[in-house]
Structure 1
Amino acid sequence: MPEGQIVRAVSGFYYVRTPEGEKVQCRARGVFKKKNVTPLVGDLVRFDWTGDGQGFITEVKPRKTQLIRPPIANVEQAIVVSALREPAVQLMVLDRVLVHCEKAGLDVVLCLTKTDLVTDEEEIVRVRSIYETAGYPVVATSVVTGEGIDTVRQYLKGKLSVFAGQSGVGKSSLLNAIHPGFQLATGSVSSKIGRGRHTTRTVEILDLPDGGQVADTPGFSQLTFQGMEASELSDCFPEFRLRSSECRFRGCLHRNEPDCAVRSAVEKGEVDAGRYEHYLQFLQEVEALRRY
């Protein structure tokens, strides 16, 4: 039975690429509804040919990872993209995206875009310091000057990566700079609401000429913490995870417990106070969702 990878999904059709490079337009067998399984872009599948480049997916192989928003499977790495200007950097939104990537078990690289629009270099240094201290590699980029583009290419080699971030932060422009052959549509930022207009409508896996694959996805904007336990949240902050074993109480939520190593690190300036405040706000959301 032929096998392949789902590289695009549109209106109930799944485009499966075979190892030989052929792309087959498939439907999913009804058995998946009974099993409550929906095939996702990134899935490795088996399918039956029906002729004329068409087929039916008969089996979805076990997934290594899975994201809900965007819906994609078997991603290894997230390139989390945040603009420094147009729209202005929003650290709470950025931290929200990072939590979801951590929960999914993805390696993370933080990519700061539009550095050519920043006149105060101290701002780039400040943002870089926050996230490098938290344990993330940070790459500052500009599609105008070419800064950082080669560095991002190196991170992409040999992996299936998803580009994650709000609409308008420059994901498609960055992908076009990495490989001009993609020719992805790009959009502008609304002056009224300060957010980007969606230019990517579907999840699609793109092959890179130097090896590796990237998934272009719609922007992240409505991420919630549905289904997350309060005890899980702190593990999604690498700098908290590193110190949690030093807390007096096992399962410490780092809120008001005595002898909390995380709060102590915040007071000493070893953990960013802004990240800690975002954690507390996220914790309230998690607890509120668990109550209802």
Structure 2
Amino acid sequence: MPTGRIVKALSGYYYVQPDDETQEEWITCRARGLFKKKGLSPLVGDQVTYELSNETEGTVTEIKLPRKSELVRPPMANAEVAVLVFSVTEPSLNLQLLDKFLVHIESAGLDALICLTKSDLANEEEQACYEQAEQLYRQIGYDVYVTSSKEGTGVAAIHQALEGKIGVFAGQSGVGKSSLLNCLLPGLNLETNAISQKLGRGKHTTRHVELIPLPGQAWMADTPGFSQLDFMQVEAEELSGCFPEFRALAASCKFRGCQHNGEPKCQVMNAVEQGEVSRSRYDHYLYFLQEIKDKKRRY
């Protein structure tokens, strides 16, 4: 049977890009009922086997397992890298939300690439802010790229970083994800919308998950814009492990399973006091920790 990758899922249909390079058109497929019985749903990014009913239609018969990764939001399989797109202005750079995205990406086991967009629109104060953020996240170990879709700056570097990978673009709505993808693949012409001056955020221009082929054998998903994430997939005990700068320090804490929240001889808290760990990152950690505990109590 032929094989391929699901590149789009919409209204119960799965659009499969055949592995056979001579077959350029997607195959429109339904999924066999046996997946539902097994509690398994095909996802964008899945490598599958399918059975043809005619030249352009067929049925997904098998999903190649195990998946390299599986995201709940957006629903996607086998992603290797997440490009977290945050604007330095319009809307303003939101570091708490960025840290929240990073927690989810770390929890999912993906590599994270931080992209700060709209650098050409930043005033002096905003430029100082994003330069400090760039330095902070680079010190932690994240790759950070400052870009301008309008001027094309930083786009080539991101292109190179994504070669041969399957990834997902994520971030707050209105930050320029679609504009950046349009720069990465000229002629793509994804829909973009201006920022609402009243609300300070953009309209959700992307309404489904779709893998877009980029030069260099890369596949990237432009996902629906959203501004909030929940922590249903992250346990309180796992949270500190999603902060890379905490991990090495945590091994030296007095108590195993230390949550770095008032325990004696906590090395993470000590590092914060010594200025070795960012106070803002630690404050965000405490905020997320409380959010997780509150949510678990409600459920």
Q: Which residue of 2 aligns with 1:18?
A: 18
Distance 1:190 1:271 in 2: 36
C-alpha contact (below 8 Å) 1:133/1:271 kept by paired residues: no
Q: Which residue of 2 aligns with 1:44?
A: 47
Query: In the alignment, does 2:64 pair up with 1:88?
Result: no
Give the alignment partner of residue 207 of structure 1, picking from 206, 213, 229.
213
Q: Which residue of 1 aligns with 2:274?
A: 268
Query: In the alignment, does 2:77 pair up with 1:73?
Result: yes
Distance 2:249 2:242 in 1: 13
Distance 2:103 2:229 in 1: 10
Report the CA distance between 1:220 and its aligned residue.
Answer: 3.1
Deviations 1:29-80 (A, max 9, x none): 1111111111110001111111141111111111110111111100000111
5 Å-filtered alignment, 1:72-221, equals 72-120=76-124, 121-221=127-227
Distance 2:26 2:49 in 1: 13
C-alpha contact (below 8 Å) 1:97/1:220 kept by paired residues: no
Distance 1:17 1:178 in 2: 20
Report the CA distance between 1:242 and its aligned residue.
Answer: 2.6
Deviations 1:136-157 (A, max 9, x none): 1111111122221111111111
C-alpha contact (below 8 Å) 2:206/2:224 kept by paired residues: yes
C-alpha contact (below 8 Å) 1:70/1:220 kept by paired residues: no
SS at match of 2:256: coil
Percent identity for Structure 1 against Structure 2: 52
C-alpha contact (below 8 Å) 1:75/1:160 kept by paired residues: yes
Q: What is the root-mean-square deviation of aligned Cα atoms in Å?
A: 1.2
Number of residue-to-residue matches in the alignment = 292
Q: Which residue of 2 aligns with 1:31?
A: 34
Structure 2 regions of 5+ residues with no counterpart? Answer: none
Distance 2:152 2:276 in 1: 33
2:13 aligned partner, one-letter code: F
SS at match of 2:201: coil
SS at match of 2:62: strand
Distance 2:217 2:54 in 1: 31
Query: In the alignment, does 2:256 pair up with 1:250?
Result: yes
| TM-score after normalising by structure 2 | 0.94
Report the CA distance between 1:133 and its aligned residue.
Answer: 2.3
C-alpha contact (below 8 Å) 1:205/1:215 kept by paired residues: yes
Structure 1 regions of 5+ residues with no counterpart? Answer: none
